[in-house]
Structure 1
Amino acid sequence: MADIPKIRWSCKKSLKGHINKVNSVHFSGDSRHCVTGSLDGKLIIWDTYSGNKVQVIPLRSAWVMTVAFSPSGNFVACGGMDNQCTIYDVNNRDSSGVAKMVRELMGYEGFLSSCRFLDDGHLITGSGDMKICHWDIEKGQKTMDINGHAGDIAGLCLSPDMNSYVTGSVDKTCKLWDVRDQGHKQMFFGHEMDVASVYYHPNGQAFATCSEDKTCRMFDIRADQELCQYEAPGKNAGFTSCVLSSSGRYLIASAIENGIHAWDAMKGTHNGILNAHENRVTCISITPNGMALASTSWDQYGKVWV
């Protein structure tokens, strides 16, 4: 198998607008718009082609830790230290011209660490009370309440076909779940510290993880085991978030020490580093069409890489 070319993405847009640490980012299904959440108590929806703000949504709680865009682009969800998940309708505005709040999903005993839409009517969340909850948004009710892990749930990613999802936790494990079922299907071990983020392979048969133990790993679902381990040269910091390219060949992970690392996912070799942030990179999100990457950081900026 031939080597893949060195990653040569450049920073095309700086998303400037937040006035505090930016904690998370997620792309819409149209691969053009993304939402960022910051400790300044605002969600900002961006047009990444122009770098302009489309909407600013003020939040009741500033402690936002996760954001999600529905695949249709109609809704955004966020949550954090306020122990609830709040959903906004992007297309409808209230009297003050701000996106209309549709639902506040209560009932968590810990902070909300991750949320993802199945569709416009259903949502899955993971939280610091170790639980995974499935929600019917229209009714505002839980359809499932699962004791997921033995520690805070840190990351959650849906499979490409939306029928299953994988979670990563502070208990150092990852678990595979079926959307229609309560119990986990498989459990994966290997990391020595918190699993910070998980991301499905585009073929749906494997997933990547990154951790504070300074490694990223690839787990194969059919083989039920770890396939490969990825480390940064210099091995100087843990990782906060990871994604795979649409081909599955590039594994990209953001690091605590400002950089975004890339590897050849098949060969396990380090492929390059993207430097543009001046502080910890908190989250990265890749467009559904695989053409661009967005990153957020404690330096108060979002960046779009192409």
Structure 2
Amino acid sequence: MPKDDPETAALKKELNDIIANLKAEQEKVADAKLAEKCGDMGDVPKIRLLTKKTLKGHINKVNSVHYSGDSRHCVTGSLDGKLIIWDTWSGNKVQVIPLRSAWVMSVAFAPSGNFVACGGMDNMCTVYDVNNRDATGSAKMVRELAGYEGFLSSCRFLDDTHILTGSGDMKICVWDLEVGKREVEFNAHAGDVVTISLAPDMKTYVTGSVDKTCKLWDVRAEKEKQTFFGHEADVNSVCYHPSGQAFATASEDKTARLFDIRSDQQIGHYKPPGASGFTSCG
């Protein structure tokens, strides 16, 4: 539809009015602001960040990193066409896995440490068994999950037999890895699904999208539980708080924000001077 189509303009206005009304209703019941409650606290002591280990091995941009459940091993994906599994305590490489496509955008380590997955501009999610080797000595590929109509932006293991994915075709999928079939598939956003963060309970998760919203989901349902507005551009990254009661976001609008799930609204807004868009948060 053309931009000046009157019906489209009227619908956009109606949606914006609904969002504005929702925000007004939320503000009515907001009895306090986080910044005000913390106003009488002293300044945070100066933080000295020290490099514990530098993991050297990739020869091109590293696009994604994810830890195993043991908080020791991690997998990295790079545009050099390799996945590397690292022992972050020693800094040593555990395995190097060559990829069929170098355009990797997301990697995932199963909490058990038994599997890693990756995907990107090849429009598929590929799963490797790190405990079994193929004829070349690399981790054995056990599944190629194809059928996406857009790039694979994010993937996370629910357990060793199920993986959750978000993609550029605006969809969320849950795959059964034992049979290689989709158990769940639905349109999640009005734009590319860019990022996924699983809650500590591994049952709920948050997504971020280029439609400027974040949504809270339950893996057992195909309709969002909550939608969070506020960002003025693409949401590039979301990260659940360890408590499971909040999550942080990073956006192309040059802000990072903190959303409280129980009160269903934004409680923190961070905009450093002169910052460019944020690509990741944690």
Whether 1:241 and 2:273 are equivalent positions in the alignment is: no
After TM superposition, list the pairs within 5 Å mapping 1:161-240 onto structure 2: 161-232=201-272, 234-240=273-279
After TM superposition, list the pairs within 5 Å mapping 1:114-125 onto structure 2: 114-125=154-165
Higher strand share: 1
In 2, the alpha carbon distance for the partners of 1:21 and 1:60 equals: 17
Query: Could you say which residue in structure 2 is the equivalent of 1:137?
Result: 177
Whether 1:51 and 2:91 are equivalent positions in the alignment is: yes
Q: Which amino acid aligns with 1:23?
A: N
In 2, the alpha carbon distance for the partners of 1:73 and 1:36 equals: 14
Higher helix share: 2
Larger radius of gyration: 2
Whether 1:128 and 2:143 are equivalent positions in the alignment is: no
In 2, the alpha carbon distance for the partners of 1:4 and 1:73 equals: 36
Structure 2 SS opposite 1:117 = strand
What's the CA shift for 1:235?
Answer: 2.4
What's the CA shift for 1:3?
Answer: 4.4
Q: Gapped runs of 5+ residues in structure 1?
A: 244-306
Q: Which amino acid aligns with 1:56?
A: V
Whether 1:76 and 2:137 are equivalent positions in the alignment is: no
Structure 2 SS opposite 1:96 = coil
In 1, the alpha carbon distance for the partners of 2:44 and 2:68 equals: 28
CA deviations on 1:46-103 (whole Å, 9 max, x unpaired) are: 1111111110000000100000000011100000000000000011111211000010
In 2, the alpha carbon distance for the partners of 1:165 and 1:172 equals: 17
Q: Gapped runs of 5+ residues in structure 2?
A: 1-40
What's the CA shift for 1:200?
Answer: 0.7
Between 1 and 2, higher relative CO (CA 8 Å, sep ≥ 6) is seen in 1
Q: Which amino acid aligns with 1:78?
A: C
Q: Which amino acid aligns with 2:139?
A: A
What's the CA shift for 1:236?
Answer: 2.5
Q: Which amino acid aligns with 1:180?
A: R
For 1:67, which of 107, 115, 134 is the aligned residue? 107
After TM superposition, list the pairs within 5 Å mapping 1:6-25 onto structure 2: 6-25=46-65
Runs of 4+ in 1 over 6 A off after TM superposition: none
Q: Which amino acid aligns with 1:206?
A: A
Whether 1:112 and 2:113 are equivalent positions in the alignment is: no
State the aligned residue count.
242
What's the CA shift for 1:8?
Answer: 1.8
Q: Which amino acid aligns with 1:236?
A: A
TM-score, L = length of structure 2:
0.84
In 2, the alpha carbon distance for the partners of 1:32 and 1:45 equals: 10
RMSD of Structure 2 on Structure 1 (CA): 1.0
Q: Which amino acid aligns with 2:231?
A: H
What's the CA shift for 1:223?
Answer: 0.8
What's the CA shift for 1:16?
Answer: 1.2
Query: Could you say which residue in structure 1 is the equivalent of 2:32?
Result: none
What's the CA shift for 1:2?
Answer: 5.0
In 2, the alpha carbon distance for the partners of 1:34 and 1:43 equals: 10
What's the CA shift for 1:5?
Answer: 3.1
In 1, the alpha carbon distance for the partners of 2:264 and 2:61 equals: 37
Structure 1 SS opposite 2:269 = strand
In 2, the alpha carbon distance for the partners of 1:124 and 1:3 equals: 40
